[in-house]
């Protein structure tokens, strides 16, 4: 094959203090391909992309764009050359409108002033291209996380890039939106754009990527055509060893009811839903964004005030405005979806973040870390394979997936009766995912109940005893994952089988 190389890295090394994030990386990205970059949390994927974009200066090595050396160019210069990135962290300004958020990096100018009229035309065009319809004046903070993700994608596409980098774009969008994103990538490919795609979901890699480059510990291990790479080989290449059981499902006796939700209603988001979770059970809520998954969990936990219905835990009804603190007292744990905002304190170290559940409720800023806290933090780091395994490491210096492991670890290692887990394994690598699934298995074996909200269909099927499909705030169907195919479930998620039009 005679492919034209668009981006080339030669011998790139990048260190942060004592951490060697990239070691002597050579990489070619060819024109018009969708090129996957895969590897465990902390393998160096985001650092590689930031180095490509000029956000990090490499300690050694050279970068080339269309055979011209671009080492040392600034992010703005790289953008002007036609390279755009959608970062792993959602950099949206909540107080600004959707229009402003999309135009912020590349505003069209006229006589030294921002040309709003031209800007609006450009924004409408790009939203049309990605199939999104927004009220441009609306503040970005009023959007769901998934919608915000598409605003950022629109921002990256506004100047019609030649190369688009997507760093874990699907970790906060649902199955339905993932399909939408894939359509966008296909359309971009048809119009000659090259895409670099980072994800921890094998299914996505095999669906849309032409080539796969595997990274481990900051080194590029290999690059192969997707069709020549079996999933088993790929996982071994990423981990450096084989993975035996990805969904280590153990049979557990299902016992008494722990959670009972009856006719729950919340604004126009959750509409009269009833279901239960029993001890020993893992139940998954699936549905598109806007289906009401996160709101359902929020009402149960007490961070949202329900408008109607009954929620009982262990046969005891929770009051209408039970608080999150009462939630913890009653043995309910909620691992929220938006971890960066709700779940972690970036300037503190791992241990302080691990011990912050109880202390945070007493006093927001008092971190009293005793030996017990230290042991707990260490245990959580060990179990979830946090890298680097150093509980003194500052949270914001960890890679995205490793931050996530710390935040969820502190909940999973306490003894709760009911676990409400919102996208618990999103952004976590395949090795640690298997560990999390193992821990969930142990929790239900010990008599807990787990309610998952997930956008990962394989996870829902592989892990749950029952799957509840939500559609527009209602329960569309309850499914036995053992007897229902993945495609059928996808159809339900998109509203198939409901009596409603569209
Ligand atoms: N700004 C930083 N300061 C210090 N260390 C950093 C910084 N950014 C990344 N690192 C370290 O560099 C290594 C690579 O991190 P990187 O974010 O590139 O991983 P990743 O492959 O993107 O992982 P993930 O799948 O979790 O997103 C990690 O050990 C991380 O802790
Ligand atoms: Mg990353």
One DSSP character per residue, 391-405 reads TTSBGGGS-HHHHHH
Pick the residue whose CA is nearest to atom 19 on ligand 1: 42
* Ligand 2 centre distance from Cα of residue 167 (Å): 7
Side-chain-side CA neighbours of 91 within 13 Å: the count stands at 9
pLDDT at 494: 83
Q: Are 5-239 and 253-331+416-502 in the same CATH fold?
A: yes
* Ligand 2 centre distance from Cα of residue 360 (Å): 28
* Ligand 1 centre distance from Cα of residue 427 (Å): 13
* Ligand 2 centre distance from Cα of residue 38 (Å): 10
* Ligand 1 closest atom vs CA 39: 21
* Ligand 1 closest atom vs CA 218: 14
> What is the bridge-based pairing of β-strands 194-198 and 163-167?
parallel
Pick the residue whose CA is nearest to atom 25 on ligand 1: 41
* CA angle (186, 294, 265) in 5-degree steps: 125
- Which ligand has the shortest distance to the CA of 385? 1
* CA angle (265, 294, 488) in 5-degree steps: 95
User: Is the four-CA dihedral 30, 33, 38, 42 of positive or negative sign?
Assistant: positive
Report d(CA 380, CA 299) in Å as an integer.
28
Closest alpha carbon to 134 in 142, 93, 115 = 142
* Ligand 2 centre distance from Cα of residue 48 (Å): 9
- Provide the terminal-to-terminal Cα distance of the chain, rounded to the nearest Å: 44
Pick the residue whose CA is nearest to atom 4 on ligand 1: 397
pLDDT at 363: 39
For the chain, 502 residues long, the average pLDDT of each consecutive 10-residue run is 89 95 98 97 96 97 97 95 93 93 86 87 95 94 89 94 96 84 96 96 94 97 97 93 74 92 96 97 89 89 89 85 62 71 78 66 47 84 89 90 85 85 87 88 93 89 94 94 89 72 39
Pick the residue whose CA is nearest to atom 3 on ligand 1: 397
* CA angle (197, 200, 203) in 5-degree steps: 85
Pick the residue whose CA is nearest to atom 7 on ligand 1: 397
pLDDT at 186: 97
- Which ligand has the shortest distance to the CA of 238? 1
Pick the residue whose CA is nearest to atom 12 on ligand 1: 21
- Identify the CATH number of the domain defined by range 253-331+416-502: 3.40.50.300
* Ligand 2 centre distance from Cα of residue 397 (Å): 11
> What is the bridge-based pairing of β-strands 449-453 and 282-286?
parallel
* Ligand 1 closest atom vs CA 50: 18
pLDDT at 56: 97
* Ligand 2 centre distance from Cα of residue 307 (Å): 39
Architecture of domain 5-239: 3-Layer(aba) Sandwich (3.40)
* Ligand 2 centre distance from Cα of residue 425 (Å): 14
* Ligand 1 centre distance from Cα of residue 52 (Å): 15
* Ligand 1 closest atom vs CA 401: 26
Binding pocket residue ranges, ligand 1, CB within 6 Å: 16, 19, 21, 39, 41-47, 88, 397-402, 429
Ligand 1 mutation pick, 42, 214, 430, max ligand atoms within 8 A of CB: 42
How do the domains of the chain map onto residue ranges? 5-239, 253-331+416-502, 348-414
């Amino acid at each position: 094959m005679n492919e034209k190389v668009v981006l080339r890295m030669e011998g790139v090394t990048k260190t942060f203090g004592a951490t060697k994030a990239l070691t002597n990386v050579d990489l070619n990205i060819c024109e018009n391909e969708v090129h996957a970059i895969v590897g465990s949390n902390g393998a160096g994927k985001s650092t590689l992309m930031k180095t490509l974009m000029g956000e990090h200066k490499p300690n050694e090595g050279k970068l080339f764009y269309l055979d011209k050396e671009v080492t040392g160019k600034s992010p703005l210069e790289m953008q002007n050359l036609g390279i755009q990135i959608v970062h792993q962290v959602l950099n949206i300004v909540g107080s600004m409108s959707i229009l402003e958020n999309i135009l912020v990096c590349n505003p069209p100018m006229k006589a030294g002033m921002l040309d709003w009229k031209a800007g609006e035309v450009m924004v409408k065009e790009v939203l049309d291209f990605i199939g999104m319809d927004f009220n441009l004046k609306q503040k970005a903070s009023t959007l769901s996380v998934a919608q915000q993700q598409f605003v950022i994608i629109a921002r990256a596409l506004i100047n019609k890039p030649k190369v688009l980098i997507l760093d874990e774009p699907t970790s906060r969008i649902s199955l339905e939106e993932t399909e939408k994103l894939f359509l966008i990538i296909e359309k971009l490919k048809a119009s000659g754009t090259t895409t670099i795609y980072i994800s921890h979901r094998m299914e996505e890699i095999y669906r849309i990527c032409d080539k796969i480059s595997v990274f481990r510990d900051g080194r590029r291990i290999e690059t192969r055509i997707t069709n020549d790479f079996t999933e088993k080989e790929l996982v071994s290449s990423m981990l450096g060893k084989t993975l035996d059981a990805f969904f280590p499902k153990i049979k557990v006796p299902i016992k008494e009811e722990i959670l009972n939700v009856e006719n729950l209603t919340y604004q126009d988001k959750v509409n009269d839903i009833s279901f239960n979770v029993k001890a020993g059970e893992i139940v998954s809520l699936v549905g598109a964004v806007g289906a009401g998954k996160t709101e359902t969990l929020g009402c149960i936990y007490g961070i949202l005030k329900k408008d109607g219905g009954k929620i009982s835990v262990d046969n005891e009804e929770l009051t209408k405005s039970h608080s999150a603190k009462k939630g913890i007292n009653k043995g309910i744990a909620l691992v929220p979806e938006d971890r960066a905002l709700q779940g972690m304190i970036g300037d503190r170290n791992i241990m302080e973040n691990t011990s912050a559940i109880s202390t945070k409720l007493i006093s927001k800023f008092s971190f009293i870390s005793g030996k017990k806290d230290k042991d707990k933090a260490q245990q959580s780091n060990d179990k979830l394979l946090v890298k680097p395994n150093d509980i003194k490491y500052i949270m914001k210096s960890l890679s995205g997936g490793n931050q996530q492991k710390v935040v969820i670890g502190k909940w999973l290692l306490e003894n709760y009766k009911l676990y409400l887990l919102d996208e618990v394994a999103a952004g976590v690598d395949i090795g640690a995912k298997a560990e999390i699934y193992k821990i969930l298995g142990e929790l239900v074996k010990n008599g807990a109940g787990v309610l998952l909200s997930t956008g990962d269909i394989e996870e829902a099927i592989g892990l749950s005893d029952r799957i509840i499909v939500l559609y527009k705030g209602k329960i569309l169907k309850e499914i036995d994952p053992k007897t229902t195919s993945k495609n059928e479930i996808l159809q339900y998620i998109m509203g198939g089988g409901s009596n409603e039009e569209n």
